[in-house]
Chain A
Amino acid sequence: MKAETEAGAVVTATAAPPMIELTQLELHLASAGGEVNILRGLDLRVEAGETVGIVGPSGSGKSTMMMIIGGLERPTGGSVRVAGRDLAGLNEDALALFRRDKVGIVFQSFHLVPTMSALENVAVPLEFAGRRDAFDRARAGLEAVGLGHRLTHYPSQLSGGEQQRVAVARAFATEPDLLLADEPTGNLDGETGAQVMDVLFDLAERHGTTLLLITHDDELAHRCGRIVRLLDGLIVDGGQPA
């Protein structure tokens, strides 16, 4: 990046790399009926600290793109850089460690570990990170999402909204640089969904977390700083920062 100083001197500075940089991203899957092109060479750049809403019809490739950004799926073409790392060079375990340190994910179906209490669910990523204060932080995280009274409950003993708040607390537990949220209110009623989103936006803002939010809800998408539209495996709008 180049900038001109008041004195007229030209200074060359290396700016922080983008949080997400997808280049010509492709994903083709072979199926009985022939090859299916899920992503067809899309480009996306998201800067650190941005909040980006991803919208598009079902089957447009939103979730697949997010899975690739989270290192949960491998593209068949193009490059993926997240938080300065090229994910192509990472094996499964390196990807797990990368997620542990950099990425939090909130799913539409919550995906809590059903045999663990709320507190344990939130503490797990901290335990993997070797944090000695895992449980204290998990407790604080749950209190922050208003679930301080539900610590020992198992997922099946919690309502949908409560489960998703546990998932949010878990996603933020390691203070990730990037939070991926795939339709986090998709399984919740309007009011409960709104509460969860308030918590999520609030935490993202407080931690300065980059937020990538997949949603069908226009109103929700508009709470983000930028909206990216996908159609048929391509980004048709908002692929680059304004």
Chain B
Amino acid sequence: MTDDSCSGLAGWRLALRLARRELRGGLAGFRILIACLMLGVASIAGVGSLSQALLAGLAQDAREILGGDVAIRIVHAPAGTAELSWLDEHGAVARTIEMRAMALADTTAGGLTLVELKSVDDAWPLYGNLTTTPALPRAALFERRDGAWGAAVEANLLDRLGAGIGDTVRIGEARFQIRATIDREPDRAGGAGLFSLGPRVLIAGDALPDTRLIRPGSLAYYHYRIRLTDNADAHVWTRALEKAFPDAAWRVRTLDNASPQLQRMIDRTTLFLTLVGLTALLVGGVGVANAVNAYLDGKIAVIATLKCLGAPSSLVFRIYLLQILALSLAGIAAGVALGAAIPLVAADLLQGYLPVAARIAIYPQPLIAAALFGLLTAVAFAIWPIARAGEIPAASLFRNLVVPARIRPPPAYIAATATAGLALAALAIVTSRDAAFAAWFVAGAAAAMVAFRLAAAGTMALARRIRGIRRPGLRLALAGLHRPGAPTASVVLSLGIGLTVLTAVALIQGNLSRQITEELPADAPAFFFIDIQPDQIAPFEALLSSIDGVGKIEQVPMLRGRITALNGVPAGKAKVTGSRWVLEGDRGITWANAPPPDSPVIAGEWWPADYRGPLLVSIDGEVAANLGVEVGDTLTVNVLGREFTATIASLRAVKWRTLGINFVIIFSPGPLEAAPRMHIAIVHTDPAVETALERAVTDAFPNVSAIRVRTALDTVNGIVASIGTAVRMTAGVTLLAGTLVLAGAVAAGHRRRVYDSVILKVLGATRRNVLTIYALEYGLLGLATAAIAAIIGSIAAWAVLEFVMGIDSVWLSSVVIATGLGCTLATMLVGFAGTWRALGHKAAPLLRSE
């Protein structure tokens, strides 16, 4: 062989020829490598494809979701005559009003529940169709018959009220006959949002006044959806609208942000799931490295022979690189195919949960990205072992069966590994929808890998130091953790990362659930009542006081206002470091004589109880810091079109989790009292009288809506639990990758374990002895991994809870212990199964000299 034939293009050709010859041996040793890459690539490709399919669905259905080409929302009051006539002149308008109300069944059982009421006019919906069961014409659905208007309701309302189609319910002061259940309400996702406190009830716009629910200050949302005349540009139209009504306090949306919440949710979920997929791929990378190592272990004689015959290191490197690449491509291709098919299954599963239908298609971009991720991972993890095998001198290859040679690959290969790693990181950041978050993830992943590597080294060092163990099974098992060639490092790293994700997720979810339900203060109120009119306050309090079992009642006035300026600077231009939500849209505001409980003044002073001077305001301290304002600065709010400027008199430390009534912004009494308002109340009561109290209030004040605190919290808790389950399932992908690596390590060690167990049996070990040794060895390995993962996972969960969510975290030992024990047991079983297979081998054929 000449230098020429082994280098350059000719070298690659020769390498390809030799690689093909070697691959004839079959793929048996590479199942794990292929599976690892397939799993990671499939996760990323699947998440990407599903996300694209949903976003495509969102874009395609944008008109339906938005309900028009442009959608305008105003809180509290309808648009004025001038505005309405402008809208009518510039397109077709559909008017709907949404609010919460109480529905009381006219049946003997007489169920009572909070509903999300929506009144619609004849023009609604401008796009898409309302479908109901039974399918009825609009008039038949909503018209007034025998003194009762018609209503279409969400099916679960029937269960809650114990009513059926044809029964009547009372909402406010009007009676409605349930004529149909809603199958599809086209603009649901673009309206009140994804979170609702009760079932939907659709009624005709003409029926709403009869309910007498709309009163000054009631929390009603007025929607105007507009279909533009042909070819009108929505943005040009919007600018014209803004020009015509520069001071209008409305929210305007166009097709490109038909449902920002949904879009944001899809974006965030995609980001999170892609990173989970990437974690699985990184864990799979460890499996790739293990598989390559194991393969090359079996090829030592071949490599030695090739080198003896004159093959230079570079040729050996190319031969094996080509083989690994070919096999990796097989895994990647399988992963891409699987990933492309994931939306088919997932879209069906998600249908009930998302208000948008996925558009199933092949989306090349996420598939290409996933394939690139897979290829870079394979290259990054395979170069090192291949380059090392190429560098081992031929003579030493024959003896280097167990002790890994402490040979570093030449700098060029180290640089290639680093480049592949950096390219992987860059790809993760570039393809992410949130580059900063992805960058943090990359840094975190790198740190986690280093941490696990160190932890594994620590475990091995500890195992080496433990002495004086009398039981041979335990001693041998412990020694198995630090022996040369032991899989400790790779198993701790790969299984540990999966387990860490799972532990952290379980802890975060556990803490959130605990926060929502278990930590509910003992004196938590039973009800929030909203939409109490000022003239109803006295009779409302009197009614409640007359019911036995009702405890403390607190009520405050509430208005809606929008912050328009900070120190005279328009809110849109103010430089803020956080809490931007305070400036976006309407906020609930109030006035008070005295500071609410649980919110001590931390700066400035609260106004005297009888203060009637110029308007002052007290703000939550944290929000003030984020908005860059302090005591003495001014704040301007727009309440129903009127601007009020107040001087900041004090800052408060608001404790939000007490479930009392509190506001970010509290004004001094006086100027705001003239504005239309409603009152909200919280009521403490004996659980036994909750139903009677709810009924009594609804009977006496049909316009007042009751929100049961426990039900609302259960709803939130249910959402958190569903999210937790989904996240745990995806974390399971990472764990599956870890398990694959473990299985790979066990499979790779099979030859060695067969040999060891035969020798041990020759030396007098019974099958039970051998099984005990390996079960203990893997049990210890699982235990060590679980312990490390518990520590790192707990720290990660604590950091997320404390710093990202701002929640005091509690270490839930049962969660961590259950996760850890599961891991230990699973590891033990995998090791046990591998050993069981090894024990079946006959001794004699292995012991004979060739």
Contact = CB atoms under 8 A, between A and B. Distances in A.
Contacts of B485: 115
Interface of B: 399-403, 470, 472, 475-476, 479-480, 483-486, 752, 755-756, 759-769, 842-844, 847-850
Interface string A123-138: 0110111101010000
A99 B764 contact: yes
A67 B844 contact: yes
Interface of A: 63-64, 67, 70, 72-73, 92-93, 96-97, 99-101, 105, 107-109, 111-116, 120, 124-125, 127-130, 132, 134, 154-157, 170, 174, 182-183, 186-187
Contacts of A170: 763
Best-surrounded residue of B470, B483, B485, B847 (most CB of chain A within 10 A): B847
Given A97-B764, A113-B760, A125-B764, A72 B844 contact: yes
B769 to A, nearest CB: 6
A132 B470 CA distance: 7
A170 B764 CA distance: 12
Contacts of B400: 156
A105 B762 contact: yes
A109 B849 contact: yes
Contacts of B766: 92-93, 96-97
A133 to B, nearest CB: 11
7 contacts: A72-B847, A92-B761, A96-B769, A97-B764, A100-B765, A109-B850, A124-B472
Contacts of A157: 403
Given A111-B762, A128-B765, A157-B403, A182 B472 contact: no
**Closest 5 A/B residue pairs (Cβ):** A100-B764, A127-B472, A108-B849, A93-B766, A115-B483
B673 to A, nearest CB: 84
Contact of B484 (A96, A105, A129, A154): A154
A182 B476 CA distance: 28
A145 B759 CA distance: 21
A225 to B, nearest CB: 25
Given A108-B849, A116-B483, A128-B769, A156 B764 contact: no
Contact of B848 (A63, A96, A99): A63
A96 B844 contact: no
B844 A73 contact: yes
Contact of B399 (A108, A115, A156): A156
A5 to B, nearest CB: 43
B205 to A, nearest CB: 81
Contact of A156 (B403, B756, B761, B762): B403
A128 B764 contact: yes
Contacts of B768: 93
A183 B849 contact: yes
B483 A124 contact: no
A117 B667 CA distance: 80
Given A154-B403, A183-B849, A128 B762 contact: no
Given A128-B769, A174-B764, A186-B849, A114 B401 contact: yes
Contacts of A134: 472
B762 A155 contact: no
A114 B470 CA distance: 22
Contacts of A132: 470
A114 B765 contact: no
B763 A128 contact: yes
B472 A107 contact: no
A101 B752 contact: no
A92 B400 CA distance: 33
A96 B757 CA distance: 11
Given A116-B483, A155-B402, A93 B767 contact: yes
Contacts of A108: 849
A128 B759 CA distance: 13
Contact of B756 (A101, A113, A154, A186): A113
Contacts of A187: 849
A174 B756 CA distance: 19
A183 B761 CA distance: 21
Nearest to A93: B766
A107 B485 CA distance: 24
B625 to A, nearest CB: 60
A115 to B, nearest CB: 4
A113 B769 CA distance: 16
Contact of A107 (B470, B767, B849): B849
